[in-house]
Amino acid sequence: MRSFGLIGYPLAHSFSAEWFAEMFRREGIRDAVYANYPLGSIEELPALLAEHPLLGFNVTAPYKRAVMDYLDQIDPTAERIGAVNCAVRQGDTWKGYNVDWIGFAESLMALTGGECPHALILGSGGAAAAAAYGLDELGMVHATVSRSKKGAGILSYEALTSELLQKYRLLINATPLGTWPDTERFPAIPYEWLTPAHMLYDMVYNPPETAFLRKGREAGASTMNGRRMLEIQARETWKLFLSACR
């Protein structure tokens, strides 16, 4: 039996195991299983891999950056992004990849309709790094907004003005705020300045409409959640997992 899984914490909100189970059924794959492995600390990863003969695993918050220290090789794209969301066993070693950016960039096109608006990325973690890489690949100008305001060029939430939001019409929530079960949390942007010209993209997919997206919809903005991103990155992940089985 080929075993795969997901690490992160918490994982009760994740649809990954259900997605892979449905894909296995649909494709008639009977020799593969995918399970959630919630880790209270990334330091638990070596023991998990020693106990479970995984061929590959996905990585979600809060370990997309920290997991890199536990892998033997990092794919150049993941190295540039500075985050890993997929690791594949290669013999006795592990190699990390990032396919989040593919899921993000491909799904974003349905929201923007081919436009290239200036974008604000809300958050500065691994998901935000993948979003920034995806926007670069799409040729979109972007800036990052973070509570910690670490790094050159990163804006604080207090710096968001009406004029700035007129310039940056695409807002991307790359934080976990609003994820089930804490569904009423949302990034602290000035929603009163949103207009029907704005587009709000939330990497969170559970619930389908977060408070962030609801506030955007109420302002007349176009909105999209992260479900399609999840599906695309899962598809790309499976391609990598298959390479480990050959």
Catalytic residue numbers read 64
Contact 208, 202 (CB under 8 A): no
The beta strand positions in 105-221, using DSSP E, are: 118-122, 142-145, 168-173, 199-202
CA dist., res. 33 & res. 20, Å (int): 8
First to last CA, the chain: 14
CA distance 142 to 171: 10
> What is the C-alpha separation between 156 and 112, in angstroms, rounded?
25
- Encoding tokens for residue 160? 């968001």
Strand order in the sheet with 118-122: 142-145, 118-122, 168-173, 199-202, 222-224
CA 20 to CA 23: how far, in whole Å? 5
Cis omega (within 30 of 0) on the bond before 76? no
CA angle 106, 111, 117 (to 5 degrees): 95
